[in-house]
A = this chain, B = another copy of it.
């Protein structure tokens, strides 16, 4: 294993030091593992907090900033942050109008955010929660009851963040967040597994012409193993899995997301095929993201996330955002 790290134990702390050095508009506590806006919470605005295991960069810390999250709390690699971090992040996000917790549906995250919400409520902070569970590949697993939360997290954080920035109250921000999740589905395909710094070995082994369909973002196995095929066929497999669960029509927000070790040129090739197949179904790529947004360390492969847009959701998507990983319109 060759990785650009100092030691397996200091990966998260060292990466947060780098995030801090690159982004003076963020307040970063590398030891305490809290990232928030340097300007502090916005008085009267609903706060947004997310967190989860590290290894999915830029998620979540890369989405802290105007128009998106107020604070994030990264855990160890592929490991939920602890409730104390979530409480500290919530305090850093609390502008007095309540705080929304954006929680990917993994058992550890769910339980810890529940505990944190109770602690925050005891301190008089109003908390709402949205559970993101967009991955159609697998239902129930050792780490999850129900579906896993993956790519749609970016859409939920962006769109709910815009609603909060626009002055919506907590109940409305939570409603919008849940609507985005309900309208979103994802499916991922791995060409190679990822290697965690601690184990130093791929989380699963794929043969020279094998791929993993319906892969998760923690190196856990997917729906099935299959033979490698070309980009057009792989795009069809992913999009059809999404479409089978939620028929796609009208204006669609589409993300073709790299899993960490996939070059941009390949993601654009996949995106071309996705866009063509969508239009063949009478749907339309109305908005899009192509790049690395929810990764799995150095995994090679991609995921597709589709969200059925309404006019309101499109308007919130287009609203200004200013974070390390997403920025436009301001």
Contact = CB atoms under 8 A, between A and B. Distances in A.
Interface of A: 2-7, 11, 14-22, 54-55, 57-58, 62, 191-192, 208-209, 211, 228, 230-232, 234, 256, 260-273, 275-276, 285, 288, 290, 292, 295, 297-298, 300-302, 322, 327-330
Contacts of A268: 14-19, 22, 57
A159 B111 CA distance: 49
Contacts of A295: 263-264
Contact of A57 (B264, B273, B302): B264
Contacts of A191: 2-4
A228 B267 CA distance: 29
A298 B329 CA distance: 31
Contacts of A54: 265
Nearest to A302: B4
Given A263-B260, A264-B57, A271 B18 contact: yes
A58 B264 contact: yes
Contacts of A290: 18, 22
B265 A21 contact: no
A60 to B, nearest CB: 13
Contacts of A276: 17, 21
Chain A binding surface SS class: mixed
Contact of A6 (B192, B231, B292): B231
Given A2-B191, A14-B272, 9 more contacts: A2-B300, A4-B269, A6-B269, A17-B269, A20-B272, A21-B272, A22-B288, A261-B300, A298-B300
Contact of A4 (B15, B267, B285, B322): B267
A4 B57 CA distance: 21
A264 B16 CA distance: 11
Contacts of A19: 268
A266 B256 CA distance: 22
Contacts of A302: 4
A103 to B, nearest CB: 21
A6 B276 CA distance: 14
B21 A275 contact: yes
Closest 4 CB pairs of A and B: A18-B268, A18-B272, A21-B275, A4-B266
Contact of A328 (B6, B267, B288, B327): B327
Contacts of A273: 6, 14, 18
A228 B2 CA distance: 7
Nearest to A269: B14
A11 B267 CA distance: 11
A163 B19 CA distance: 29
A245 to B, nearest CB: 23
Contact of A230 (B5, B22, B62): B5
